[in-house]
Amino acid sequence: MRGRLQQPLVDLLLSSIQIMDWLMGKSKTKPNGKKPPAEEKKQYLEAEFTKVRVVDFDLKELVVLPREIDLNEWLASNTTTFFNLINLQYSTISEFCTGDTCQAMTACNTIYYWYDERGKKTKCTAPQYVDFVMSLVQKLVTDEDIFPTKYGKEFPNSFESLVKKICRYLFHVLAHLYWAHFKETVALDLQGHLNTLYAHFIVFVREFNLVDPKETCIMDDLSEILCAPAPPAPAAPSSPAPSPSSHNHVTER
């Protein structure tokens, strides 16, 4: 049944209360909002940051389909939870993601363009793009014809492709958080939440093939570190250099 969350996921949700606290203005520290220079090293790959998580169990166990649960129910429940958590994580830095600081929706060397319902490509700022994503996903996950919650109601034939579309967009938001707002996330001491959320999300989409690897490859360096079964040994910190072939090259999607 939807809504019956596993205990580790509940722990993760509870830890999000820290984020809520900050949003309610209880935290005294705030980042200065300065943007990292474009060619700056990927700070989020440094061992100091990648070792920080809020949970330390194998996330793979958390995403496999439980025997007694219907696949679509499982996809619906997890997708809705990821939407809520990613929306919450973005909201912690949203005041620093403006039309001035983020004139395009960037992640690594990729610029994401929004495509409207008629397939028209639109150039937009990162906050506009995130707003388009969150509004669309909110509309989908609360549509009883697409994400049914009532007993006996069937999932539509398009359900899996819609879940894939949602996950692709949510990945863009996570990638932008790392690329453009990691410093601010660290200043808020929320990098453990972001790392855990990201790793959980990647393990989930890999398990059910929900996002094309060509889409997620821009963040493979981070995924390999965070999704490793055990945290990297402290004795051998490694921060892989960005692939030389990806330098000075902007991809449009």
Q: Which residues are documented as binding site?
A: 97, 102, 176, 181
Asked if 194 is part of the footprint of Zn ion (rule: CB under 5 A), the reply reads no
Residue span binding Zn ion (CB under 5 A) among the ranges 43-51, 68-76, 122-130, 164-172:
122-130
Q: How far is the CB of 108 from Zn ion (least distance, A)?
A: 14
What is the C-alpha separation between 159 and 212, in angstroms, rounded?
17
Q: Which of these, 175, 252, 253, lies nearest to 218 by C-alpha position?
A: 175
Contacts (CB under 5 A) with Zn ion, residues 125-184: 126, 180
Annotated binding site for Zn(2+): 97, 102, 176, 181
What is residue 34's DSSP assignment? P
Measured in whole angstroms, how far is the alpha carbon of residue 119 from the centre of its chain?
24
Region for residue 119 given its phi and psi (left: phi exceeds 0; alpha: psi -120 to 50; beta: otherwise): left
CB closer to Zn ion out of 76 and 222: 222
Q: What is d(CA 67, CA 70) in angstroms, rounded to the nearest whole number?
A: 8
Burial of 172 (0-12, 13-18, 19+ CB in 10 A): buried
Choosing from 102, 141, 203, 226, the residue that interacts with Zn ion (CB under 5 A) is: 102
Q: How far is the CB of 126 from Zn ion (least distance, A)?
A: 4
Q: Which stretch binds Zn ion (CB under 5 A): 17-25, 97-105, 158-166, 194-202?
A: 97-105
How many beta carbons lie within 10 A of that of residue 239, not counting itself? 17
**Minimum distance of Zn ion from residue 198's CB (angstroms):** 16
Minimum distance of Zn ion from residue 107's CB (angstroms): 10
The residues binding Zn ion (CB under 5 A) are: 97, 102, 126, 180
